[in-house]
Structure 1
Amino acid sequence: MSAAEPVALIRCFAPVAAGDARLLILGSMPGKASLQADQYYAHQRNAFWRIMGDLLGAGPELPYPARLEKLTAAGVALWDVIAACERESSLDADIVGATVRPNDFPAFFAAHPGIDHVFFNGGAAEASFRRLVLPGLKAPPRRLLRLPSTSPAHAALSYADKRAAWSAILAPPIM
């Protein structure tokens, strides 16, 4: 594909959140496997659902709707920072910066006032949130914490190390 040909705009999923959510997990933008399956973290090698299984009982052995129910019952909301963008591959590094449109976080936080902790699934989600969203929030969440990416492309940490880091969602410290 030449640089002159635009890449199709991709869009994220709707947020998964109950009204009483207390924490939010943010990714950057779903990858190709997730977009094709219409499910968050659908790539078989992504560790997200395995970690959620270990921590919250929302493991990959459950049907997708049951996993989402387990998350919301635990007070966990799930969404992406980016509402739409151009990207050829599933890699965050391939997101075309000029095409990025963030989700409407002021409206989301207004509808979910109990969320005071935001956990980022990797550095791209955190950087996008801090650059595109945080400056526009009148009352940002009290705690923002980047966790290691669960993506199979992030192989620098073992599963055990990722799981240990992600255990922070179980008892977010009061800041």
Structure 2
Amino acid sequence: MIGTRDPGRKSAFAPVVSPDTRVLVLGSLPGEASLAAGRYYAHPANLFWRLVGGVIQRPDLPEIAYDQRLAVVLLHGIGLWDTVRSAHRKGSLDAALRDVDPAPLAARVASLPMLKAVAFNGAASAKIGAKQLPGHPDLERVQLPSSSPAHARMTAAEKQAHWNSLRKFLL
């Protein structure tokens, strides 16, 4: 029916980018805690803000107000978005994604003149996002271990070592 929303469908947030974005970090689709809070990576056990804080050498990043966090990452050349525009999903696990409508990544990438790399936060993001960016051979693609608490195969320190590879794109 026209005008009715599908209550089971979840949608991504708007991208957080600027013309100076050099690294675009792409999740898959915000989880339940993030959707409820209206903020990227809002689940308290998600390591995203800690990991990005380590990349930009701002260990205080997780403790500052959300709007300030966004301003800090933008100032350092990091943008945020997701590879999924909308999908059905029960709960927060990427494995539960169904009827995926991918985000228009190619158009977003083309709009960022300083972009050097796209970093996929987890395997699902990489799988979905790589299909959206076939025609960008100069763009570095970096698959990172997921910051999600569901990805517990690595310690926080091991994850941080991988995430620190983003530093070279921010110089």
TM-score by length of 2: 0.89
Q: Secondary structure at the match of 1:42?
A: coil
Distance 1:139 1:67, change over 3 A: same
How much has 1:107 moved relative to structure 2?
2.2
User: Match for residue 86 of structure 1?
Assistant: 88
Structure 2 Cα separation of the partners of residues 60 and 153 of structure 1: 19
Q: Is the deviation greater in 100-109 or in 61-70?
A: 100-109
The residue type equivalent to 1:166 in the other structure is W
TM-score by length of 1: 0.87
User: Contact 1:7–1:86 at 8 Å: present in 2 too?
Assistant: no
**Aligned counterparts of 1:145 and 1:153: Cα–Cα separation in 2:** 20
Give the match for residue 18 of structure 1. 18
Segments of structure 1 that go 5 or more residues without pairing to the other structure are: 1-5
Q: CA RMSD in A?
A: 1.7
**Matching residue's letter, 2:34:** S
- Work out which of the residue numbers 145, 148, 152 in structure 2 matches 1:148: 145
Residue 59 of structure 1, aligned match among 58, 61, 69: 61
Give identity over the alignment, percent.
Answer: 39
Unaligned 5+ segments in structure 2 are 1-5
Q: Shift of the alpha carbon at 1:55?
A: 2.6
Q: Which amino acid aligns with 1:108?
A: R
| Distance of 2:155 and 2:123 partners within structure 1 | 17
Q: Residue 3 of structure 1 aligns with which residue?
A: none
4+ residue segments displaced more than 3 Å: 138-141
Q: Superposition pairs for residues 20-169 of structure 1, below 5 Å?
A: 20-56=20-56, 57=58, 59-96=61-98, 99-131=99-131, 133-135=132-134, 138-169=135-166
